[in-house]
């Protein structure tokens, strides 16, 4: 699919008002726009930034398995002239988390953590003197949302007035997309089975942040997708929910994104998925492989948005 042109201008990193990126709203709307502009510039002109973080190091802590997150953060540091070290396993299992944080901040310039609970992220940020980045937790996935809205902007040339429909569990990805999309002028609709709605407090936060945005939470996937410009789905059982996988497959069956559901979206709609995908479950193989699918653009853009984030936090 041909991408609409995005204005090209040289960008320089600015210092963010936050010292950590624990959730999407840690950055202001203006800072969010700057990160997206900077990511676009870094994608166009990677050599310009090749030594920007020379001599800087990040610790990557992974409680959960990872392909895209781990490799893109490792590559981001290397492509900016820095480097990273990785540790896998539960954080705080062998020693108190506050001790881990204060060890790491003596050695590295930033901490990137992919964890089971948001509390782990907030405690790392509380005890660490260096920036902490949330690379996924049970409540938010802010780095994914950055890549997603960059992908939308690349394909449409703008975000204001577009509608994103999320089909499936009201999970961490949905929360981050909600808080990121509405601040960029997008409408957000979510369709899920009863009792799988997103966190009500986070929905209320989004309504307060963007009172003009259309925010719809429904149990009808066709209501959500009707005329939408982006149709997004995620696995029905996230990591840590494996015991619920069979039960969830039955509950979410009617929420599969297939060609019939995609036909209800706008003619130029794109299909999105944060990956990994369970093909023939939350979506079908023909949708994943269709010209509408931008899932691998999203995956690529994880690298570019994370480079922008690291540069602004660790410069």
Using DSSP's 3-state secondary structure scheme, residue 68 falls into helix
Residue 1: pLDDT band with limits 50, 70, 90: very low
Q: Are residues 121 and 187 in the same domain?
A: no
Whether pLDDT at 237 is above 90: no
Q: What is the pLDDT of residues 246-262, one digit of tens each?
A: 899 999 999 999 999 99
Return the pLDDT at 11: 64
Average pLDDT over residues 22-34: 97
Average pLDDT over residues 82-97: 95
Return the pLDDT at 306: 98
Return the pLDDT at 44: 98
Sign of the CA dihedral running 302, 138, 16, 154: positive
Please count the other Cβ atoms lying within 10 Å of the Cβ belonging to residue 226. 14
Q: Is 137 labeled as catalytic in the residue annotation?
A: no
Q: Is 181 labeled as catalytic in the residue annotation?
A: no
Let me know if residue 6 belongs to a domain: no
Q: Is 106 labeled as catalytic in the residue annotation?
A: no
Return the pLDDT at 6: 42
pLDDT, greater one: 296 or 243: 296
CA distances from 207 to 66, 183, 267, 297 (A): 32, 10, 28, 29
Whether pLDDT at 189 is above 80: yes
User: What's 134's domain CATH number?
Assistant: 3.40.50.1370
Return the pLDDT at 7: 42
Task: Exactly one of 274, 297, 298, 304 is catalytic; name it.
Answer: 274
pLDDT, greater one: 3 or 281: 281
Task: Exactly one of 234, 248, 273, 306 is catalytic; name it.
Answer: 234
The predicted model scores a pTM of 0.94
Q: What is the pLDDT of residues 96-105, one digit of tens each?
A: 999 999 999 9
Let me know if residue 16 belongs to a domain: no
**How many domains, in total, are found in the chain?**
2
Task: Exactly one of 114, 153, 175, 273 is catalytic; name it.
Answer: 114
Q: Are residues 175 and 282 in the same domain?
A: yes
State how far the Cα of 259 lies from the Cα of 272, in Å rounded to an integer. Answer: 13
Q: What is the pLDDT of residues 143-164, one digit of tens each?
A: 999 999 999 999 999 999 999 9
What lies within 8 Å, CB to CB, of 97 at 6+ separation is 91, 120, 123, 124, 127
Task: Exactly one of 34, 68, 248, 302 is catalytic; name it.
Answer: 302
Let me know if residue 123 belongs to a domain: yes
Let me know if residue 14 belongs to a domain: no
Task: Exactly one of 109, 138, 144, 273 is catalytic; name it.
Answer: 144
State what percent of residues in the chain have pLDDT above 70. Answer: 96
Whether pLDDT at 240 is above 80: no
Residue 3: pLDDT band with limits 50, 70, 90: very low
Q: Is 118 labeled as catalytic in the residue annotation?
A: no
Return the pLDDT at 261: 98
Let me know if residue 29 belongs to a domain: yes
Q: Which domain holds residue 276?
A: 144-298
Q: Is 37 labeled as catalytic in the residue annotation?
A: no
Q: Is 280 labeled as catalytic in the residue annotation?
A: no
Q: By CB neighbour count within 10 A (0-12 exposed, 13-18 middle, 19+ buried), where does 107 fall?
A: exposed
Structure tokens at 207: 């309504």
Q: What is the pLDDT of residues 159-176, one digit of tens each?
A: 999 999 999 999 999 999
Q: Are residues 130 and 46 in the same domain?
A: yes
Return the pLDDT at 18: 80
**DSSP secondary structure code for residue 244 in this structure:** G
């Amino acid at each position: 699919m041909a991408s609409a042109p995005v204005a090209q201008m040289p960008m320089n990193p600015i210092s963010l008002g936050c010292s950590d990126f624990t959730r999407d709203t840690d950055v202001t709307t203006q800072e969010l726009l700057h990160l997206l502009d900077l990511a676009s510039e870094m994608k166009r002109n990677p050599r310009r930034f090749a030594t920007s973080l020379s001599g800087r190091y990040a610790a990557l802590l992974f409680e959960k398995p990872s392909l895209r997150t781990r490799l893109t953060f490792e590559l981001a540091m290397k492509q900016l002239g820095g480097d990273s070290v990785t540790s896998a396993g539960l954080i705080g299992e062998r020693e108190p988390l506050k001790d881990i944080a204060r060890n790491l901040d003596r050695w590295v310039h930033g901490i990137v953590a992919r964890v089971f609970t948001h509390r782990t992220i907030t405690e790392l940020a509380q005890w660490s003197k260096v920036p902490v980045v949330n690379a996924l937790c049970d409540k938010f996935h802010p780095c994914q949302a950055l890549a997603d809205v960059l992908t939308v902007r690349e394909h449409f040339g703008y975000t204001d007035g577009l509608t994103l429909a999320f089909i499936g569990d009201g999970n961490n990805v949905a929360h981050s997309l909600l808080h990121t999309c509405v601040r960029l002028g997008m409408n957000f609709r979510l369709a899920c089975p009863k009792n799988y709605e997103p966190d009500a407090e986070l929905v209320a936060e989004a309504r307060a942040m963007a009172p003009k945005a259309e925010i719809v939470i429904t149990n009808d996937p066709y209501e959500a997708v009707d005329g939408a410009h982006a149709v997004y789905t995620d696995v029905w059982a996230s990591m840590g929910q494996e015991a619920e996988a069979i039960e969830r497959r039955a509950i979410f069956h009617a929420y599969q994104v297939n060609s019939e559901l995609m036909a209800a979206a706008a003619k130029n709609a794109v299909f999105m998925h944060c990956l990994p995908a369970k093909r023939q479950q939350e979506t079908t193989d023909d949708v994943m492989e269709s010209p509408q699918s931008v899932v691998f653009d999203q995956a690529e853009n994880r690298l570019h948005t994370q480079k922008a984030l690291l540069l602004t936090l660790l410069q």
